[in-house]
Chain A
Amino acid sequence: DGGITQSPKYLFRKEGQNVTLSCEQNLNHDAMYWYRQDPGQGLRLIYYSQIVNDFQKGDIAEGYSVSREKKESFPLTVTSAQKNPTAFYLCASSTRGLAGGSEQFFGPGTRLTVL
């Protein structure tokens, strides 16, 4: 089945630790995105990548880092510099990254909790 997978589903982190969230897609999509969602709120864009080996900061990139070494993978690292990392993290991909809007396909999400 084609789709987007995220792992782990739940992640617990101690303060001061970096953690990496996995996102893999087998949809052959060029563009991939990371969003953060806080309770009762909408999605805020952290980073996005339109093509392999290229990525751009979104609206709330501080304290996060990404890489895009392979088309199917877009891991997100939550660093110790992120002041309030507890949130639900969503990864998405789409076919069109170099033009206007198109449907983004979402993964199931990773819930990160800082202890």
Chain B
Amino acid sequence: GESVGLHLPTLSVQEGDNSIINCAYSNSASDYFIWYKQESGKGPQFIIDIRSNMDKRQGQRVTVLLNKTVKHLSLQIAATQPGDSAVYFCAEAAPDSWGKLQFGAGTQVVVTP
């Protein structure tokens, strides 16, 4: 079946560097994409989302890029801080999904001093 997946299970980043987390999706019908951050033992927190009529969206220190041609989504975090250490999930939804999100497996980001 179609699924959302991540390239790297663990990403180690030095404090102050930029982080890039990648996500591949296979459902070409998906038109909504979202990134969540989950700290240990807590519920996921919204980071940023993007719809398929856009290819880039920026938030505070974060940028999401969408490449529909190769079905690829990425999250860029600028000037990574220790508080950015967490698991990051991408998720997708198709127009007929009735609001359901299909989540990827997640990437663990570890920020080193």
Contacts and interface: CB of A to CB of B under 8 A. Distances in A.
12 contacts: A4-B43, A41-B106, A43-B44, A45-B100, A97-B98, A101-B93, A101-B101, A102-B99, A104-B34, A106-B43, A107-B43, A108-B42
A50 interface: yes
Contact of B99 (A42, A48, A107, A109): A48
B2 to A, nearest CB: 13
A52 to B, nearest CB: 15
Given A90-B44, A101-B34, A42 B97 contact: no
Contact of A43 (B32, B89, B92): B89
B43 to A, nearest CB: 4
A44 to B, nearest CB: 8
Interface string B70-107: 00000000000000000001001111111111011110
Contacts of B43: 4, 90, 92, 106-109
Contact of A50 (B41, B44, B94, B98): B98
Interface of A: 4, 31, 33, 40-45, 48, 50, 56, 58, 88, 90, 92, 94, 96-109, 111
B105 A42 contact: yes
A59 to B, nearest CB: 9
Contacts of A101: 30-34, 92-94, 97, 99-101
Contact of A48 (B32, B41, B89, B100): B100
Given A42-B89, A96-B99, A100-B32, 16 more contacts: A42-B105, A42-B106, A48-B100, A50-B98, A50-B99, A88-B41, A90-B43, A99-B98, A99-B99, A100-B93, A101-B94, A101-B101, A102-B99, A103-B49, A104-B34, A111-B41
A104 B101 contact: yes
A96 to B, nearest CB: 6
Interface string B25-45: 000001111101000011111
Contact of A98 (B30, B34, B99): B99
B102 to A, nearest CB: 8
